[in-house]
Chains A and B, each alone.
Chain A
Amino acid sequence: MKSRESFRNSDSFRTLISSLISILIGLLAGAVIIFIVGLTNSSISFSGAVEGIKIVLFGVFSTGRSAGGALSFGFNPVNMGNLFFRAAPLVLTGLSVAVANKTGLFNIGAPGQYLAGTCASLFIALSIPSSRMAPGLIWLLALLGGMLAGALWGSIPGMLKAMLNMNEVIACIMTNWIAANLVTWLFDISKLKNTAEGTKTGYIYKTTYNGVATPKFGLDKIFAGSQINGGIIIAMILCVIMYVVMEKTTFGFQLKACGANRYAAKYAGIKDRRNIILSMAMAGAMAGAAGSLYYLSGNTEFFWSTYQSLPAEGFTGIAVALLAVNNPIGVIFSGIFMSMLNISGMQLTYLTAYNEYITDVIIAVIVYMSAFSLIIRTMLAGRKKNIAGANANAEPGKREQTLPDAREMASSSAAVKEKEA
C-alpha cells in the first residue's frame, strides 16, 4: 500500500500522466480538425466525420468496410504486423534523440544519420556477393556498417559542438542536407540502381536481390501477410542496452553529468568534450541502425534521389523521444504509438475522404504539448503537494532531490554558459 502511494507521488508517475495528457490533447485536436473540416466540406457528411475520428483512434483494428459500406473492426494481422515493422525505425530514431538529449544535446540530425546508415547498409548488403559469403553474415556486417556510418555522421556535429562550441542544432541541420545530397550522389554513381525491373525508376535494388534480409524469428507466422521481421526485437534490445548504459554505468553517469552542467562536470574531472562527441556518436549509431533495419528488411525499396527531402522518420524520432521524456525504455512504447498513428493515417486515406496528414498534425500537436510537459508536471506536483500538505506532513524538498530532467539541464547549462561568457 505504501509503495503504491509513493509511486503515485513519484516523478515518473507525473511524467507518465503529463505524456498521456499530451497524447489526449493531440488526439482531441485531430478530432476537432476532422470534425470542422467534415462540417464545412460539402463532400463529407457528418457520418463521414465520425468515421474519420473512429479510424484515427482505432485504425489498427480496421478490417475495411463490410458489404453494407459500414466500417468494420477486428484483429487485422496485416495492420498489426506493419505496425511493429514501422515501429522499429521510429523507436530507434526516438532512442537516438533521447540519448543525445540526456547529454543536453538536441539531436535534430537524426534524418541525416538515418540516411548515412541506410546508404552504408545498402552498399554493404548489395556489394558483397552472397555466393562468396553467408547472407546472414552480410546482413550483420550491413547492420554494423550502417550503425558505424550513422555514428560517424553523428559525431560531426558532436565534434563541432565540443571543439568549436558551434550550435549543434544548426550543425545538425546542415549535416542533414549534406547527407541527403551526398547519398543521392553516391547512389547516382553506383551500380545499385534497380534496372532489372523496368517499371521502376529511381529505386535501389531490394536487399533480397542479393539474398540478404532481416531474420523474421517466426513473427511472420503470427502476423500473416504483413511486412514484419525481427527489426522490432533488435530495436527493443538496443533500447535495453542504452538504458543499462545510461542508468547503470559510470559512463552513462558522466554523460548525464555533462548534460546537467557541462562546466561543473569538467570541474569534477569528467572529459566533457569526449563525452559530447561520444554521446552524438551513440545517437548517430541508433539513427543509423533505424535506417539499416528499415531497408535491410528485404521488402522495402530505397528511393535514392533524396536530395529534395529528408526522411520523416528522423523528425518523428524527436516526437517519440519527447513523448517518452527521453527514457530509453519509454521510447519503445511511444515509438509503437507513433507507428500506430501512421497505420491509422494510411487507413484514413484508404477508407475515407480524409488523408494521412492529419496524423502528422496530431504528432505535431503532441510535440507542441510536450514543450510544456514540465509545466504540466509542476502543476501536478503542486496539486499533489497541496493535498498531501493538507493531510499530514508531506516530505519536504522531495522534488528538489530528484535528478532534474534534460530540459531543466539544458536551461541550466545555457545559464552557466552565459555566465562563462
Chain B
Amino acid sequence: MAFLIRQTLIYAIPLMIVALAGIFSERSGTINLALEGIMIFGAFCGVVFVRGMQNLGWFAQAKADGNWMALQGYLLLAMLGAAILGAIFSLLLGFAAIKLKADQTIGGTALNMLAPAIVLFLIRLTAKQNTLLLVSGDSASWFLIKKTMLGFDKNQDIGVLGEAFLNKVYLTTYVCIIVFVILSVLLYRTKFGLRLRACGENPQAADSLGINVFKMRYAGVLISGALAGMGGFVFSVTTANCSSNGDVAGFGFLALAVMIFGNWKPLNVAGGALLFGLFKCIAACYSTLDVNGDGIYTLANIGINSNVYRLLPYLITLLVLMFTSKKSRAPKAEGIPYDKGMR
C-alpha cells in the first residue's frame, strides 16, 4: 500500500504541477500547447545543472561528509534553474502569442517541435548518444530521502502513511505540493490573481479598469513556463533517473487533459492528477503491485496484456473528457489575441 501511494505520487506530482502551469497560462488568456516542449527543455536544463555541480565535485564532497541536506539543497538549486530557463523558453510563446498576436496553437506546436530538436542536437553533440546521463551514480543514490536520514531506526515501524510519505521519497514531491498550494492561493485570494483571471475572461473590461492586459498575460505565460520547466525536471529526477533524452512520455499533453478535466480549477486539477497518476502507476508497475501486502501480485495474475495497462490512462482520459466536456467551461478569452480596438 505504501508502495502504491509512493508510486502514484511520483506520477501525479509532475502532472499536477504542469497542469497548474497550464491553468496560469490559460486563465490569463493564452493557450499553452507547448507544455510538453517546455517540460522537455526544463528537464534538459535541470540535468545539465546537476551534471555541472557533479563536475565541480560538490556532490562527492557532500556525500563524503554525509551531508545529505546539502545534496537536497543542490536539488532545489537545479529545480530553480530548470524553472528559470523554462520561463525564458516560454517567452518564445509569449512573444508570438501576445506581442505579435500569432496563432497560439501553431506557436505552441512549434515549441513542442523545437524543444526536443534542440535538446537532442546538443545532447548528441556533447554526449555522442541520445541520452544525457548523470556523471556518476543515479538519482536515487543522490537525492532519495530514507527514513534513516530523518532519525528513525532502520527497522522501526512508522506505519503505512509514514512509509509512504517519509521513507524513500523525493524532496521534489513536497516542494511541488507547497508551490502548488501557494500559487493556487495566489490565483484565487490575491489582487494579482483576480486581475490575471480577468484578463482571460474579459480583457477589454480589465483594460478599461486600468489593468495592463499584455503585462498580465506575459506574467501568466512566464509562471506557466517556470512551472512546466520545473515539472519537467521533477519528472526526470523521479521517473527517468535524472536523465534527459528529449522526451517526457507525453506528460505535457496528459497535463493539458488533466487541466481540462479539472475545469481550469486547481483543486479539481489536483484530484484529476492523482487519478491519472494512479493509472499511470498501475501501467508502469502492475506486475509488482501488491496492494494488501499478502505477497500475491493480483494484477499480474489476471493475465491481461501489459499493453492494456499502458493504454488505460489515455483511454480513461478520453472517456472522462467525453462525459465532462459538455460541462467544461474554458476561460472565455482563451486563445484570442488581445486587441484594444475590438469590442
In residues 82-120 of chain B, which contact A (Cβ within 8 Å)? 92, 96, 100-103, 105-107, 109-114, 116-118, 120
Cα–Cα, bound, A171→B328 (Å): 14
CB < 8 Å neighbour of B110 from A171, A354, A367, A411: A367
Residues of A within 8 A of B292 (CB): none
Contact A319 B314 (CB under 8 A): no
Q: Which residues of B contact A188 (CB under 8 A)?
A: 305, 307
- Report A414 CB to chain B, min CB distance, Å: 6
- The answer to the question of B168 belonging to the interface, with a C-beta cut-off of 8 Å to chain A, is no
Cβ A418 vs Cβ B332 within 8 A: yes
Contact residue among B105, B117, B247, B325 (Cβ-Cβ distance under 8 Å from A166): B325
Known: A106-B105, A367-B106, A418-B332. Contact between A167 and B307, CB under 8 A? no
Complex: A40 Cα to B226 Cα, angstroms: 28
> Contact between B314 and A184 (Cβ–Cβ < 8 Å)?
no
Which positions 130-175 of chain A face chain B at CB distance < 8 Å?
160, 164-167, 169-171, 173-175
Given contacts A164-B325, A174-B314, A368-B96, whether A361 and B121 have CB atoms under 8 Å apart is: yes
Are A371 and B321 within 8 A (Cβ)?
Answer: no
Choose among B109, B250, B315 the residue with the greatest number of A CB atoms under 10 Å from its CB. Answer: B109
- A270 contacts chain B at the CB level, 8 A cutoff: no
Looking at the complex, which one of B107, B247, B326 makes contact with A165 (CB distance below 8 Å)?
B326
A245 within 8 Å of B (CB atoms): no
B307 in contact with A322 (CB, 8 Å): no
| Contact (Cβ within 8 A) B305 A185 | yes
In-complex Cβ contact of A372 among B102, B113, B247, B311 (8 A): B102
CB-CB < 8 A to B253: which residues of A?
170, 173-174, 177
> Is the C-beta of B33 less than 8 angstroms from some C-beta in chain A?
yes
Q: Considering only CB atoms and an 8 Å cut-off, how many residues of chain A contact the other chain?
A: 55
Q: A165 to B326, alpha carbons, bound, how many Å?
A: 7
Question: Which chain A residues lie closer than 8 Å to B314 at the CB level?
Answer: 174, 177-178, 181
Whose C-beta in chain A lies nearest to the C-beta of B342?
A415
Contact residues in A for B249 (Cβ distance below 8 Å): 308
Interface pair B106/A370, CB less than 8 Å apart: yes
Indicate if A108 sits at the interface (CB-CB under 8 A): yes
Out of A106, A307, A309, A375, name the residue touching B307 (CB < 8 Å). Answer: A307
- How many Å from the CB of B267 to the closest CB on chain A? 21
Any chain B CB within 8 A of the CB of A315?
yes
Q: Nearest chain B CB to A337's CB is how many angstroms away?
A: 16
CA distance A23 to B317 in the complex (A): 37
Would you call the interface of chain B mostly helix, strand, loop, or mixed? helix
Q: Give chain A residues whose Cβ lies under 8 Å from the Cβ of B305.
A: 185, 188-189
**Known: A360-B117, A365-B114, A414-B335. Is A178-B315 also a contact (CB below 8 A)?**
yes
In the assembled complex, B9 has its CB within 8 A of some CB on chain A: no
A25 on interface, CB distance cutoff 8 Å: no
* A178 and B121 contact, Cβ closer than 8 Å, known pairs A108-B109, A407-B103, A410-B103: no
Contact A372 B100 (CB under 8 A): yes
For residue B128, which residue of chain A has the nearest CB?
A: A355
Chain B residues with CB below 8 A from A173, complex form: 250, 253, 256-257
Taken residue by residue from 178 to 199, chain A's Cβ proximity to chain B (1 for < 8 Å, 0 otherwise) reads as 1001101100110000000000
Whether B322 is near chain A, meaning CB under 8 Å from some CB there, is yes
Report the bound CA distance from A70 to B300 in whole Å: 59
| B336 proximal to A (CB < 8 A) | yes
**Is A264 interfacial (CB-CB < 8 Å)?**
no
Contacts of A375 in B (CB 8 A): 100-102
Chain B residues near A170 (CB-CB < 8 A): 253, 256-257, 260, 321
- Is B326 a contact partner of A181 (Cβ separation < 8 A)? no
B318 part of interface (Cβ distance < 8 Å):
yes
Does A358 sit within 8 A of B, measured CB to CB? Answer: yes
Closest 6 CB pairs of A and B: A360-B117, A185-B307, A364-B114, A368-B110, A357-B121, A181-B311
For this complex, 26 residue pairs linking A to B, each with C-beta atoms less than 8 Å apart, are: A33-B118, A160-B322, A165-B325, A170-B257, A170-B260, A177-B311, A178-B311, A181-B307, A181-B311, A181-B314, A185-B307, A309-B247, A353-B125, A354-B125, A358-B117, A361-B121, A364-B117, A368-B111, A370-B106, A371-B107, A371-B110, A374-B103, A375-B102, A411-B103, A411-B336, A421-B332
Interface, chain B (partner A; CB < 8 A) = 33, 92, 96, 100-103, 105-107, 109-114, 116-118, 120-121, 124-125, 247, 249-250, 253, 256-257, 260, 305, 307-308, 310-311, 314-315, 317-318, 321-322, 325-326, 332-333, 335-336
A interface residue numbers (CB < 8 A to B)? 33, 37, 41, 106, 108, 160, 164-167, 169-171, 173-175, 177-178, 181-182, 184-185, 188-189, 307-309, 315, 318-319, 322, 353-355, 357-358, 360-361, 363-365, 367-368, 370-372, 374-375, 407, 410-411, 414-415, 418, 421
5 new A-B contacts at CB < 8 Å, known A177-B253, A368-B92:
A174-B253, A181-B310, A185-B308, A360-B116, A410-B103
